[in-house]
Amino acid sequence: MKKNGIVLRFLQRPSAVIGLTILALQVIAVIFAPWIVPYSPIEANPLVSLEAPSVAHWLGTDVSGMDIFSRIVYATRINLLISITAVIVAFVIGVPLGLLIGYYRGLLSATVMRLFDFIQSFPVFVLGMALVSVMGQEIWNVAIVLAVLFIPMFARLIRAEVLSLRERPFISAARCSGATDLSIMFRHILPNAMTPAIVQISISIGMAILLTAGLSFVGAGVRMPTPEWGLMVSIGAQQMILGVWWVALFPGLAIVLAVLCFALLGDAAREVADPTARRR
């Protein structure tokens, strides 16, 4: 009943409804892309280069004659695949790591925290460009790089919660009852420390989408002819001065909607998880 109440409160928020609607459209694009698009997303046709939006090409074509609508739909797969994979990997690694360095204090914990400080001292975008250039411009390499950037974020969130929970009376009671450290960490502390990290998942996916698009925009991410929103904006930006606005505009709107979707879901989740954060 309690879970049903949380879901109901979540769905009662307009931000959650809007976010879920946009997310549903993205899921449809990911699953049914081959049946939705009228053209191949990677086959060029110079005969229809830079055509404006029309009945034949709903969102126009780019400089290579590739249909923009078809590429945007397929790019949803690429961008969400990279972003969600990166955040899941960061969550799976960062949460247990944050739990350990929060529960056990000492040289190892301090060393890990200094490593996190080193990683986070670099501008995220610059560090991402450097790592991708070293590892290679492949889809999975971009996802790995983003995961490395997000691991400290999840680990710090969990560590902060663990530090406040490890001295609570119920933890002391568990120790007195003979519970092992492993049992205390994973049965008593972790379930009570997960809320901030779970809320952060949605926000981090939006950040990962922006970083993926940004890396591709500057030529350090996904390469042609793979359909990717940032890469499409980069190609279209070169044509905007000539009045060809549609090549960059529609992929840019796709990025805005995708990031907005996860930001709204994260905001709604935060309000449900923390009653003091609810808007009046």
Q: pLDDT tens, 182-222?
A: 888 888 888 888 888 888 898 899 999 998 888 888 887 78
No. of helices (H) and no. of strands (E), the chain: 12, 0
Q: What is the DSSP string of 69-118?
A: HHHHHHHHHHHHHHHHHHHHHHHHHHHHHHHHHHHS-SHHHHHHHHHHHH
Tell me what pLDDT residue 105 has.
Answer: 79
> What is the DSSP secondary structure assignment for residue 67, as one 8-state letter?
B
Q: What is the DSSP string of 18-35?
A: HHHHHHHHHHHHHHHHHH
Domain range for 154 is: 65-277
Residue 162 lies in a domain: yes
Q: Would you say the pTM of this structure is higher than 0.75?
A: yes
Tell me what pLDDT residue 68 has.
Answer: 93
Residue 131 lies in a domain: yes
**CA–CA distance, 163 with 167 (Å, rounded to integer):** 8
**CA–CA distance, 154 with 161 (Å, rounded to integer):** 11
Q: How many domains does the chain have?
A: 1
Residue 6 lies in a domain: no
**CA–CA distance, 220 with 213 (Å, rounded to integer):** 10
Do residues 226 and 153 touch, judged by C-beta distance below 8 A? no
Radius of gyration of the chain (CA): 22
Tell me what pLDDT residue 259 has.
Answer: 93
Nearest one of 111, 41, 52 to 76, comparing CA atoms: 41
Tell me what pLDDT residue 114 has.
Answer: 86
Tell me what pLDDT residue 168 has.
Answer: 81
Residue 1 lies in a domain: no
Query: What phi and psi values does residue 61 have, to the nearest 5 degrees?
Result: -130, 160
Q: pLDDT tens, 129-157?
A: 777 777 777 778 888 888 988 999 999 99
Kind and range of the H or E element at 175?
helix 169-176
Long-range contacts formed by 182-187: CB under 8 A, 24+ apart: 184/103, 185/99, 185/100, 185/103, 186/99
Residue 4 lies in a domain: no
Do residues 103 and 162 touch, judged by C-beta distance below 8 A? yes
Tell me what pLDDT residue 174 has.
Answer: 76
Residue 253 lies in a domain: yes
Residue 15 lies in a domain: no
All residues at 6 or more sequence positions from 251 whose CB lies less than 8 Å from its CB, including other chains: 68, 71, 72, 75, 229, 230, 232, 233, 236
Residue 239 lies in a domain: yes
Phi-psi group of 171: left, alpha or beta (phi > 0 → left; psi -120 to 50 → alpha; rest → beta): alpha
Kind and range of the H or E element at 196?
helix 195-217
Check which CATH number belongs to the domain holding 169 and give it: 1.10.3720.10
Do residues 165 and 183 touch, judged by C-beta distance below 8 A? no
**CA–CA distance, 243 with 50 (Å, rounded to integer):** 11
Helix (H, G, I), strand (E, B) or coil at 36: helix
Over the chain (280 residues), what is each successive 10-residue block's mean pLDDT?
64 84 92 90 88 89 91 92 92 92 83 85 78 76 87 91 83 78 82 85 90 85 84 87 88 93 86 56
